[in-house]
Amino acid sequence: MSRPEPEALDPAIVEQAIQWLVRLRFNQADEQTQRTFEQWLQQRPEHGLAWQRVETLGDEFEGVPAQLARQTLKGAQQGMRRRESLKLLGVLATVGTAAWLGRDYTPLPSMLAQQRSSTGEQRRFQLDDGSLIQLNSDSAVDSDFDAQRRLIILRRGEIIVNVGADQHSPQARPLWVQSRDGIMRAHSSRFLVRERDDGTLVAAQEGSVTVFPGSGQASASRNVLAGNQLLFTSSDARRFRDNGLDLWGWGDGVISANHMRLGDFIAELSRYRPGVLRCAEEVADRRVSGTFQLADNDRVLALIAQSLRLHIDYRTRYWVTVTAAT
């Protein structure tokens, strides 16, 4: 069954939303620009709907030059057919997307990944070898299996992998996960991989995972044992510093914090909500403890507001600020 077509929007409003995305995401936006944007959001309900759609697409273009991102976003939002989208992506690859990005890894393939989740959605699916994959909010993965190995490619976001026994293969095939920062070999039945701004986080719940940063040289490998975490980039690796977040909670549909800094908690919660969710500096160092259901983001905000004497400022549905209660 085909998906229903999204509600049609005035092309002029879509164009405005794209312009705002470029200004806010791909340029340095001052407070005056942000206030003007908030006023635009509040003018008409269609502005909020257009922003929600374009803002979700904009996650695909982190690091891409503004003009290129603007052209591609506009085509996608106008209802470009899959064949036309593939053609455009092919053109981008031909003219050298990697050169524009200044690195080999590009986020564009996540648009066409085999498995994807939207903002606020968690999904799970099973691979041919019996492995169970859980996708966190706004995540994308591909899988590439052959006779010698099993490869999972994390295009964006975060996954939990429960490694299957691969019983139907005539030989034991190692399972690998590739991220933008390197490659990992699983020796465990359950582990987590998350792409962060400062690198790739890997955590093992059972067994272990061997991490090969960058080009995968064995001399630079690090072993992550059960109960441990490692944060690595293409050039180095270090033990991940715990900030009070239960890394595994989202797999059960919850966000669980133990004396976690409020600013960090709100940043984590914002992953599950379209639009902007931010925390005022005046309350950012307050501490949060508790377990909250991710399915109701607004209720989470209401609960912490009650316990920490906060005010939740809903300027629009897509622009929310956590401040001190007066």
Residues 182 and 225 both lie in one domain: yes
Q: Which of 312, 309, 308 is nearest to 287 (CA)?
A: 308
pLDDT of residue 283: 97
Residues 123 and 223 both lie in one domain: yes
Residues 224 and 259 both lie in one domain: no
Is pLDDT of 26 > 90?
no
184: CB partners within 8 A, 6+ apart:
176, 177, 178, 191, 193, 202, 209, 210, 211, 212
Spatial distance between the Cα atoms of 186 and 136, rounded to a whole number of angstroms:
19
- The CATH number linked to 320 is 3.55.50.30
Spatial distance between the Cα atoms of 258 and 201, rounded to a whole number of angstroms:
19
What strands lie across the sheet with 319-324, from one edge to the other? 276-279, 319-324, 310-316
pLDDT of residue 7: 54
Residues 200 and 299 both lie in one domain: no
What mean pLDDT do residues 15-26 have? 73
- If one counts every other C-beta atom within 10 angstroms of the C-beta of residue 256, the result is 17
What mean pLDDT do residues 284-296 have? 96
Domain that holds residue 53: 11-111
Q: Which of 58-67, 96-105, 277-286, 317-326 has the lowest mean pLDDT?
A: 96-105
What strands lie across the sheet with 150-156, from one edge to the other? 115-116, 140-145, 150-156, 175-179, 182-186, 208-213, 222-225
Higher pLDDT, 122 or 62: 122
Is pLDDT of 126 > 80?
yes
Residues 155 and 233 both lie in one domain: yes
Is the pTM above the cut of 0.85? no
Q: Does residue 3 belong to any structural domain of this protein?
A: no
Q: What is the pLDDT of residues 28-39, one digit of tens each?
A: 567 778 788 888
Domain finish residue from 213, 239, 265: 239
- If one counts every other C-beta atom within 10 angstroms of the C-beta of residue 241, the result is 7
Tokens 């903002």 belong to which residue? 119
pLDDT of residue 44: 85
Higher pLDDT, 71 or 143: 143
Cβ atoms 36, 72 nearer than 8 A: no
What is the total count of domains within the chain? 3
Domain finish residue from 64, 85, 111: 111
What mean pLDDT do residues 267-280 have? 93
Q: Does residue 6 belong to any structural domain of this protein?
A: no
What mean pLDDT do residues 272-300 have? 94
Cβ atoms 305, 313 nearer than 8 A: no
For all residues of the chain together, what is the average pLDDT?
Answer: 81
What mean pLDDT do residues 243-260 have? 97
Q: Which of 20, 8, 25, 22 is nearest to 77 (CA)?
A: 8
pLDDT of residue 107: 46
Residues 227 and 317 both lie in one domain: no
Q: Does residue 244 belong to any structural domain of this protein?
A: no
Is pLDDT of 88 > 80?
no
Higher pLDDT, 184 or 45: 184
Radius of gyration of the chain (CA): 21
Q: What is the pLDDT of residues 158-202, one digit of tens each?
A: 999 999 988 888 888 999 999 999 999 999 789 999 999 899 999
pLDDT of residue 37: 86
- DSSP reduced 3-state for 150: strand
Higher pLDDT, 301 or 235: 301
Residues 225 and 268 both lie in one domain: no
Residues 53 and 128 both lie in one domain: no
Spatial distance between the Cα atoms of 107 and 191, rounded to a whole number of angstroms:
23
Spatial distance between the Cα atoms of 296 and 268, rounded to a whole number of angstroms:
14
Displacement of CA 112 from its chain's centroid (Å) = 15
pLDDT of residue 171: 84
Higher pLDDT, 231 or 91: 231
